[in-house]
Chains A and B, each alone.
Chain A
Amino acid sequence: MSIPAYITASGNYLPGQPIGNEEMESYLGAVNGKESRLRKKILKSNGIVSRHYAMDREQRSTHQNSELAANAIVDCLRKSTIDKSKVDMLAVATTQGDLPLPGMASVVQAVLQLPPCEILTTHGVCSSSMMALKSATNAVRLGDKRNAIVCASELSSRLLKKSRYEALDNQEFDFEAEFLRWMLSDGAGAMLIQDTPRQRGLSLRVDWIEILSFASSYDLCMSCGTTNQRAWTVKDGREARSSSQSSEPQNGKYSTAALATMPKVASPAKYLDEAVSWQDYDTYAEAERAGALLIRQNLNILQEIVKVGVDGFLRLINAGRIDPDQIDHFVCHYSSHYFRTEILKLSQMLGCYIPEEKWFTNLYTKGNTGAAALFIALDELISSNKLVPGQVVFCVVPESGRFCTAYAKLTVVEG
């Protein structure tokens, strides 16, 4: 029997003032002095009206990503009864830390001046936050730790500033590379996990967290570090999957027949014979000039994110983990208003519809802060007076990186 784990406090940090749609290009900078022709179209589709950047109008960083994280943690601990000297574990999630190494949690621990403790860095895209939350929660549920701080932080504006685009040898318009410029922004959210609920006020019991990835079924959809997202799909693997075996492991194990058709390491062909990583260029400067350091979204397959999210949801319903009718608050990190409509349509047909009045989001005013978005939304929900003991909060974080969705069921508890 595991020990229950509770979210007993939360915090957020959004750098600087909210920046409206008309101002955002003056922060990120107009590429080659020319106003973007895409900006308005993308903003109309995503519905975001303001966001925050840790960057000034000369594209100088105002913070490090680890500082955003540290500020959110300070905000969270301030609302808790725990002193930072008592933190047992620090789990930090981000899409891109300040340094390729060491892990971002090391830097955040140093910034916060936390005494020796266990750390964890999860790296991915949006769902990395839930990976950190799950590990931290499990550490508490096992009785391994009495408490854990979980933080998700993003500083994507550094990837989006004009100089990144001006550095390219080829200045032809590249929709795939510009799309996310008008989607992503900066911020951090943090939560404290403990083995007992807070004495005064409300806590959220973490009932379960499930993460389901479909990376083997799709090409890269959102990435940084390559100019060719398609090249990261194993060709032989595609043919292996064309055999009579199912493309997915049954009960977590591949059958011998499926294993036999997988590419062999010793064979002369590599798994990814056309893939080129930013690290394969002779110099990093060449990688940048080639466009390998831009953050890209593959728009041909982005719409699959809705099906992947619903697929996992249906599996959870079938497994009896969640009943759509029992959900009181639905916190879904959708990146764009467009997807909200798509999700509603599909779920309505399948009888797993969650009425719109139960949806909670702050995407439109806080921006799409990637991994941090769910925590920032949860923090606002917790402070909103909308929660009542006994209510169920259902969280979903779909990640387009290579199609991974994380789900969490939380229950509001008092004292």
Chain B
Amino acid sequence: MSTAEKMLTPTSDVQALLRDLTLAWFDFERRLSRIPIIERLERGEFTIEHYQMLLRNLRPQVVEGARWITRAASSFTADFAELRSKVIGHAYDEHRDYKLLEHDYVKVGGNLDDIVSAQRNIGTEALAAYLMQQASLPNPINLLGAMFIIEGLGQKMAERWALRIQSALSINEESTSFLSYHGKNDESHIDKMMSIFTNEPAAVERHAEIVKTARVVARLYALQLEEIDNV
């Protein structure tokens, strides 16, 4: 069976997993909409200072992101070679993303040293510590739940936020390259996850752990945005 065919016929177990992850996602979205900096963005009362603040607070997590993904790759045994390849590929694609953040920061008048030296905020500390610890456990398939939330954020919210920032600050895409890049991935997020879950039987077996991880990551990601500049 080709990958395409597999993607089109997810089992009911895979669909049940996707439904639970979607519920976790909806809860996450509702929570995000109530976080002060995101509310501000949605209202359009968003200044260059707010944007710089957001970028400064995102960078440490993006830097950490590359680390926990590569750590996760090394925690997979040969039984999960295919999944490991995907994780390595993903890490390779994104491990220099923080450069985009730095570029945007400087583009909107920020000082490079300020963003490079920005400390992890309290929420980022919790998020990074949790992900690194989970990535260090053997065969951390539950991190697919983390991927569902973090990648989902990239694909479902990043473009929307990029457009709102552009209109609030009268800047163009060149200054929102990090958000715009993550928002422009054509492949449907949910199709991609469906394909991974369908091709990896262990995912369905670890349904509850994946959903739990998604919920924890959603909560900690929101915490990171709630604790902006609280370092």
A residues sitting closer than 8 Å to B (CB atoms) are 214, 217-218, 230, 238-239, 241-242, 244, 247-248, 300, 307-308, 310-311, 314-315, 317-318, 349-352
Contacts and interface: CB of A to CB of B under 8 A. Distances in A.
Interface residues of B, number: 29
Contacts, number: 61
Interface string B183-213: 0000010110010000000000000000000
A300 B15 CA distance: 30
A321 B152 CA distance: 28
Contacts of B226: 242
A311 B20 CA distance: 10
Interface stretch (B34-42, B48-56, B65-73): B34-42
Given A242-B35, A300-B42, A351-B10, A311 B26 contact: yes
A350 B22 contact: yes
B96 interface: no
B19 A317 contact: yes
A238 B30 contact: no
Contacts of B15: 350-352
B23 A247 contact: no
A315 B18 contact: no
Nearest to A233: B34
Given A244-B219, A248-B27, A314-B22, 20 more contacts: A217-B30, A217-B33, A218-B33, A238-B34, A239-B36, A241-B31, A241-B34, A242-B226, A247-B27, A247-B31, A307-B29, A311-B22, A315-B23, A318-B23, A349-B191, A349-B194, A350-B18, A350-B19, A351-B18, A352-B15
B12 interface: yes
A360 B34 CA distance: 36
A313 B152 CA distance: 21
Nearest to B30: A217
A145 B221 CA distance: 51
B29 A238 contact: no
Contacts of B22: 310-311, 314, 350
Given A300-B42, A311-B26, A314-B23, A242 B18 contact: no
Nearest to B227: A242
A318 B23 CA distance: 10
14 contacts: A238-B34, A238-B39, A242-B35, A242-B226, A247-B27, A247-B34, A300-B42, A314-B22, A314-B23, A318-B23, A351-B14, A351-B15, A351-B16, A352-B19
Interface string B79-99: 000000000000000000000
A405 to B, nearest CB: 12
Nearest to B15: A351
Contacts of B19: 314, 317-318, 350-352
Contacts of B29: 307
A337 B10 CA distance: 29
Contacts of B33: 217-218
